[in-house]
Amino acid sequence: MDAALIASECIDSRTKGETPGIMCKLDIQKAYDHVRFSVLVNGEPVGFFTSERGLRQGDPLSPFLFILAMEGFDSMMRIASQNSKERGGLGIRNLRSQNESLLMKWLWRYTGEERALWKEVIVAKYGEINPWCTENVSEPYGVGVWRTISNLWPQMEANLYLKVGNGNKPKFWKDGWVNQTSLKDLFPDLFLICENPEDRVCDCWTEQGWNISFRRMLNDWEIERVAVLLGTLGGISITPTATDRVLWKLSTDGVFSVKSAYNSGLYEMTRGTQYPWRYFWKSVMPAKVKGFTWLVIRRACLTQEVLQKKGRQLVPRCFLCNITGETNKHLFLHCKFTTQLWNLFLNITSTSWTMPEHTSDLLSC
Ligand SMILES: [Zn+2]
């Protein structure tokens, strides 16, 4: 996992860099219809060798391969739903949320791992805002995965709190180390007159206790405010031998887990309505049909459009009508042959229907 992240970030830097250089990656890719080897130099594909002719729609063997693949998918689905019954509801879940929970694990590791190579690469490349978080990744393009991961920081940060040890890392005013809040927010008036807003917690601690410096003499009412501040800090003391720790609010032991992140419903809250996959997977359709529908709606079927995006050289023509390009929405919705099939079905079921623009609208209407 570490190696994959490092490789992705190195390629990203290489492709954006001004200095010439060479980077080779040998990639052995296996899809259900073919095996191929591709070579990337500086992130650009320079060609691929196909070990055998690719098989796809139009090829007499292809439907059989498709059925084989779907049989495999079918049994995977069956195992997954069996597991879900045994584990009481876990199993096939929202893949995107699952994926984001997994990516958040990186942010968690970032807060805790001191001397890991992958972290050094990331820090060197992006810089740090504080010991727990990198600078925002501003480049809108590139292949680095850290960009995607760091976008999840707001969700992560909202569920973290600090437990101060020796106070070497957190900033006294700016980090949320007191009651999960920053002193800047609790005492904005005092923050304005503090001597150094960048002070770390340990800078404000002596063996005699807290020692906070201000830029000028305090007024009477400010002295009262400082007394309140010291009262707030009353229960906290610095332990020189302990390290500062970042803890996770959503688990009892303060340790991040993918499961707790997923179960918190973090994503449903932030993202509003979700695609109705939950109901879809629960429906009574045969798993094979569900699998195929899922592929169509996610535009993951190997249409010519998708093959082209994968770098295959071809003249895009719909396999059925030979008139226009074989896009996902054309092949499954708008092609004149497909339309005949739809009309047949709609007539049989006496349904009035307006064909949606995209296949993704099929389930939501
Ligand atoms: Zn067509």
Tell me, what's the pLDDT at 62? 44
Question: DSSP class of residue 116?
Answer: -
**Are residues 170 and 177 in contact, defined by beta-carbon separation less than 8 angstroms?**
yes
Neighbours of 203 (CB within 10 A): 17
Cα–Cα distance measured from residue 358 to residue 296, given in angstroms and rounded to the nearest whole number: 10
Using the mean position of ligand 1's atoms as its centre, give its distance from the Cα of residue 222 in Å.
77
How far apart are the CA of 357 and the centre of ligand 1, in A? 15
Higher pLDDT, 216 or 10: 216
- The reported pLDDT for the residue numbered 23 is 59
**Judgement on whether residues 190 and 116 belong to the same structural domain of the protein:** no
Q: Which residues contact 349 (CB under 8 A, 6 or more apart)?
A: none
Question: Is 20 in the same domain as 115?
Answer: yes
Ligand 1 mean position to 349 CA, how many Å?
24
The pLDDT score that the predictor gives to residue 81 is 58
Minimum mean pLDDT range among 85-99, 166-180, 186-200, 247-261: 85-99
Q: Are residues 264 and 115 in the same domain?
A: yes
Q: Are residues 143 and 228 in the same domain?
A: no
Whether residue 146 is found in the same domain as residue 214: no
- From 162, 160, 145, select the one nearest 100 (Cα to Cα): 145
Domain count, the chain: 3
* DSSP letter (8 states) at residue 243: P
**Segment 161-191, tens digit of pLDDT:** 888 889 888 899 988 888 778 899 889 999 9
Q: How far apart are CA 34 and CA 64, in angstroms?
A: 14
Distance from C-alpha of 195 to C-alpha of 28, rounded to nearest angstrom: 59
Domain assignment present for 283: no
pLDDT confidence tier of residue 195, bands split at 50, 70 and 90: very high
23-46 burial: b if 16+ Cβ within 10 Å, else e = eeeeeeeeeebbebebebeeeeee
pLDDT-derived band of residue 312, with 50, 70 and 90 as boundaries?
Answer: confident
Mean pLDDT, rounded, of the chain = 76
Most confident of 91-100, 135-144, 198-207, 352-361: 198-207
Q: How far apart are CA 212 and CA 222, in angstroms?
A: 13
CA 345 / ligand 1 centre spacing (Å): 18
Query: Is 171 a member of any domain?
Result: yes
pLDDT 10s digits, 59-75: 444 444 444 555 555 56
Arithmetic mean of pLDDT, 246-270: 78
Together in a domain, 135 and 45: yes
**8 Å CB contact between 42 and 15:** yes
How many angstroms separate the first and last alpha carbons of the chain? 40
Instruction: Specify whether 329 is located in the same domain as 363.
Output: yes
State the distance from the centre of ligand 1 to the C-alpha of 341, rounded, in angstroms: 12
Least confident of 144-148, 249-253, 264-268: 264-268
pLDDT for position 182: 85
Rounded to an integer, the average pLDDT of 204-232 is 90
Structural contact between residues 51 and 36, judged by C-beta atoms closer than 8 angstroms: yes
State how far the Cα of 317 lies from the Cα of 338, in Å rounded to an integer. 15
Q: Six-digit token pair at 75?
A: 């049994």
Please state, in angstroms and rounded to a whole number, the distance separating the CA atoms of residues 148 and 58.
Answer: 38
pLDDT at 104: 86
Instruction: Examine the domain organization and report whether 34 and 116 are in the same domain.
Output: yes
Quick one: pLDDT band at residue 118, thresholds 50, 70, 90? confident
Distance 78 CA to ligand 1 centre (A): 34
208 shares a domain with 166: yes
How many angstroms is it from 69 CA to the middle of ligand 1? 24
80 domain-assigned:
no
Residue 151 lies in a domain: yes
Q: Are residues 17 and 99 in the same domain?
A: yes
What spacing in Å lies between the alpha carbon of 52 and ligand 1's midpoint?
28
Residue of 79 and 226 predicted with greater confidence = 226
Map tokens 């980090």 to a residue: 175
Is-contact 136 150, C-beta < 8 A?
Answer: yes
Domain residues for 174? 162-244
- Spacing, Cα 65 to ligand 1 middle (Å): 22
112 and 240 share one domain: no
Q: Calculate how far, in angstroms, residue 4's C-alpha sits from the geometric centre of ligand 1.
A: 40
Per-residue pLDDT, 95: 62
In the three-class reduction of DSSP (H, G, I as helix; E, B as strand; rest coil), residue 248 is classed as: strand
The answer to the question of residue 281 being in a domain is no
Is 249 a member of any domain? no
Higher pLDDT, residue 141 or 184: 184
Name the residue among 99, 95, 92 with its Cα closest to residue 281.
Answer: 92
pLDDT above 70: residue 365: no
pLDDT at 145 exceeding the cut of 60: yes
pLDDT of residue 287: 84
Q: Above pLDDT 70, what percent of the chain?
A: 72
Whether 152 maps to a domain, the answer reads: yes
For residue 129, being part of any structural domain is answered with yes
Average pLDDT of the residues in 254-261? 87
Q: Tell me the per-residue pLDDT of 12-62, one tens digit each, with 9 for 90 and over.
A: 777 776 666 665 554 444 444 444 444 444 445 544 444 344 444 444 444
What is the structure's pLDDT at 39? 43
pLDDT at position 340, please? 92
Residue 3 phi, psi (nearest 5): -60, -40
Q: Assess whether 147 and 166 both reside in one domain.
A: no
State the DSSP string of 121-190: HHHHHH-EEETTEEPP---S--S-SHHHHHTTHHHHHTTEEEE-SS-SSSBTTTS--BTTB-HHHH-HHH
Provide the percentage of residues in the chain whose pLDDT is more than 90: 15
Contact predicate 157/130, CB 8 Å = no
